[in-house]
Amino acid sequence: MNAKDVVVRYVQAVADGDLETIRDSFAEDATWTYPGDLPLSGTWKGRDAIVDDFLGAATGGLFKPGTAPEVALVDVIAEGDRVLAEWTAKGITRSGKIYDNRCAGIYVVRDGRIVSVTEYADTQHVERTLFG
């Protein structure tokens, strides 16, 4: 599987709520960097921290109980082991606010696994809707 296919498979797994494929998409020592100074900002190190702590908090704890944001891939550009993916994320927050964000991530893929992600999003929207 090439780098683009790995990232598309991962984003589709997020959209489908396929935790096994999400976990399998990351190298054991992967990193994920989220910008800003929000409670979930920073660099998450290791597959378990990314999947359980970062992604788990971003989906399970911040949105209306029993729901997860709807994720849809908008565009993917790949060159070698680097992939730029753009997606939308929409949902209802725990406080009933509408979350509707457009995000992008720069992924690095090696040996069929994601080894790093740097995500970009409208952090002001995140703060207002998820933490405000």
Assign residue 70 the CATH number of its domain.
Answer: 3.10.450.50
In whole angstroms, what is the distance from residue 4 CA to residue 53 CA?
25
Its domain, for residue 75, covers 3-131
Phi, psi of 28 (to 5 degrees): -60, -35
Per residue of the chain (132 residues), what is the pLDDT tens digit? 999 999 999 999 999 989 999 999 999 999 999 999 998 899 999 999 999 988 877 666 788 888 888 999 999 999 999 999 999 999 999 899 999 999 999 999 999 999 999 999 999 999 999 888
pTM comes to: 0.92
In whole angstroms, what is the distance from residue 35 CA to residue 100 CA?
18
> What's the number of domains the chain is made of?
1
Measured CA distances, 8 to 3, 38, 60, 61 (Å): 9, 27, 22, 25
For residue 17, is it left (φ>0), alpha (ψ between -120 and 50) or beta? left
Only one residue has tokens 């209802």, namely: 92
